[in-house]
């Protein structure tokens, strides 16, 4: 039997004020109930700290689902936003403005493979653009509609539009939205034999997350992405990486696929961390499909607006800092070490996986389905974490998280487990 830990002072948040209760009640009354928010009203942030309107302090180990990569209220992002806000908010893509041009240049050069960039507003839109590009590429090559299949993977997540939810090979996201768009084929993730069999002359593209996010923070196994590249080349298909969650230095490299040496994609989609909290999405397109989209092929009213691209341009510059990259590596190792120690104490995890500051901790069999309960206990102890399905805790602190912030978050995580297990 595990020895009962010594009693210690724990961090607990105050009971919700009347104002918080009133606002939560209004949210429940007026929001279309597509979400189930925790009953707190978050108000302001700084670095890896967030405060609610009652003054409770939280350590943010979720980063808005890998969005706030530079933490909250990064002064350079605030400055970029204010400067642009005083100049020009929006025109249309009938005209050039400076920020999207400079951002496109930065992304293309940083990627090492791309020729062009296209801007939109979200990850779902980025993947929608990638899917359209793949189909148009196949059409331009003379392929009939039945030879424009796109292979995606079980456990994937690519967005909430009707097409991207179909690309998402998880029935729970698709139920009730039928009839779904055609032309998608699903493959077990990391299964070499299965993908080799599924790729045929009907395949026009493979769309894959190098690390599945909603699917449990599950990385592609070594050599798998290289196999996908080989199979795509064999049949003339595009290899498209969904880096919406795993990109923007989340794993210690600009894109997670770069951990697999020698793999060059044709398309990469991104969003989340690209704007550091300001909504923006994008795809990068390599030489093979560079000429596929021409005038009128695709568009977005707000895509590439000056506000979003001014902020994202600053994000890209800061993400390439050697100090930040080192911080991701160092803090990521510290977090994994701390999780291993917590697991030794509480025997709560089956597996700890991921890269950099994108970490998933899968719960043991006796705690299956309890991830949601645990993250609520964590909130009550001043820590914001996420789940990736019902059995995996998802930990993604800001890339700028300090040693002090990380230690405080780990302390609160340990307190949360102690409270949950009633030690």
DSSP state letters, 114-180: EEEEEEESSHHHHHHHHHHHHHHHHHHTT--GGG-EEEEEBT----SSHHHHHHSB-HHHHTT-PSP
Cβ atoms within 10 Å of 331's Cβ, excluding its own: 21
Full set of structural domains in the chain with CATH:
18-73+322-420 (3.90.1150.10), 75-319 (3.40.640.10)
Asked whether 305 and 106 are in contact (CB, 8 A), the reply is no
Round to the nearest angstrom and report the end-to-end CA distance of the chain: 12
pLDDT value of residue 7: 45
Cβ atoms within 10 Å of 54's Cβ, excluding its own: 16
Asked whether 71 and 47 are in contact (CB, 8 A), the reply is yes
Give me the tens of pLDDT residue by residue for the chain, a chain 423 residues long: 344 444 456 678 888 999 999 999 999 999 999 999 999 999 999 999 999 999 999 999 999 999 999 999 999 999 999 999 999 999 999 999 999 999 999 999 999 999 999 999 999 999 999 999 999 999 999 999 999 999 999 999 999 999 999 999 999 999 999 999 999 999 999 999 999 999 999 999 999 999 999 999 999 999 999 999 999 999 999 999 999 999 999 999 999 999 999 999 999 999 999 999 999 999 999 999 999 999 999 999 999 999 999 999 999 999 999 999 999 999 999 999 999 999 999 999 999 999 999 999 999 999 999 999 999 999 999 999 999 999 999 999 999 999 999 999 999 999 999 999 985
In 236-352, alpha helices (H): 306-319, 322-346
C-alpha–C-alpha distance, residues 136 and 126, integer Å? 15
Residue with tokens 């695709």: 298
Using left for φ > 0, alpha for ψ between -120 and 50, and beta otherwise, residue 191 falls in beta
pLDDT value of residue 13: 86
Question: Do the strands 392-395 and 386-387 form a parallel or antiparallel pair, or are they unpaired?
Answer: antiparallel
């Amino acid at each position: 039997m595990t020895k009962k830990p010594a009693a210690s002072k724990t961090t607990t948040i105050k009971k919700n004020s009347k104002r918080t209760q009133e606002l939560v009640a209004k949210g429940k009354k007026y929001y279309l109930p597509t979400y189930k928010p925790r009953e707190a009203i978050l108000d302001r942030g700084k670095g890896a700290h967030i405060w609610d309107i009652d003054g409770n302090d939280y350590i943010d180990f979720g980063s808005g689902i890998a969005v706030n990569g530079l933490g909250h209220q990064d002064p350079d992002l605030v400055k970029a936003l204010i400067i642009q806000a005083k100049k020009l908010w929006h025109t249309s893509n009938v005209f050039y403005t400076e920020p999207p041009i400079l951002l496109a240049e930065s992304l293309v050069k940083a990627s090492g493979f791309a020729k062009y960039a296209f801007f939109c507003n979200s990850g779902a839109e980025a993947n929608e653009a990638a899917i359209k590009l793949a189909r148009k590429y196949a059409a331009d090559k003379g392929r009939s509609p039945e030879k424009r299949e796109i292979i995606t993977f079980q456990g994937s997540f690519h967005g909430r539009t009707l097409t991207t939810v179909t690309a998402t090979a998880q029935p729970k996201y698709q139920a009730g939205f039928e009839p779904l768009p055609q032309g998608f084929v699903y493959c077990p993730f990391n299964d070499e034999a299965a993908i080799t069999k599924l790729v045929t002359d009907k395949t026009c593209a493979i769309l894959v997350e190098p690390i599945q996010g909603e699917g449990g923070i599950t990385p592609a196994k070594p050599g798998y992405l290289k196999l996908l590249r080989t199979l795509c080349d064999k049949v003339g298909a595009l290899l498209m990486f969904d880096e919406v969650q795993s990109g923007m230095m989340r794993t210690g490299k600009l894109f997670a696929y770069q951990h697999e040496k020698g793999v060059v994609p044709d398309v990469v989609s991104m969003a989340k961390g690209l704007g550091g909290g300001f909504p923006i999405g994008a795809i990068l397109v390599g030489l093979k499909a560079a000429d596929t989209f021409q005038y009128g092929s695709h568009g977005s009213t707000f895509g590439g607006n000056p506000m979003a691209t001014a902020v994202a341009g600053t994000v890209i510059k800061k993400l390439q800092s050697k100090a930040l990259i080192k911080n991701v590596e160092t803090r990521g190792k510290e977090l994994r070490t701390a999780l291993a120690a917590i697991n030794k104490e509480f025997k709560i995890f089956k597996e700890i996986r991921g890269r950099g500051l994108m970490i998933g901790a899968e719960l043991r069999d006796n705690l299956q389905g309890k991830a949601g309960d645990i993250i609520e206990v964590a909130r009550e102890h001043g820590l914001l974490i996420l789940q990736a399905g019902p059995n995996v805790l998802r930990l993604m602190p800001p890339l700028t998280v300090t040693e002090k912030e990380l230690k405080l978050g780990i302390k609160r995580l340990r307190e949360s487990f102690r409270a949950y297990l009633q030690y």
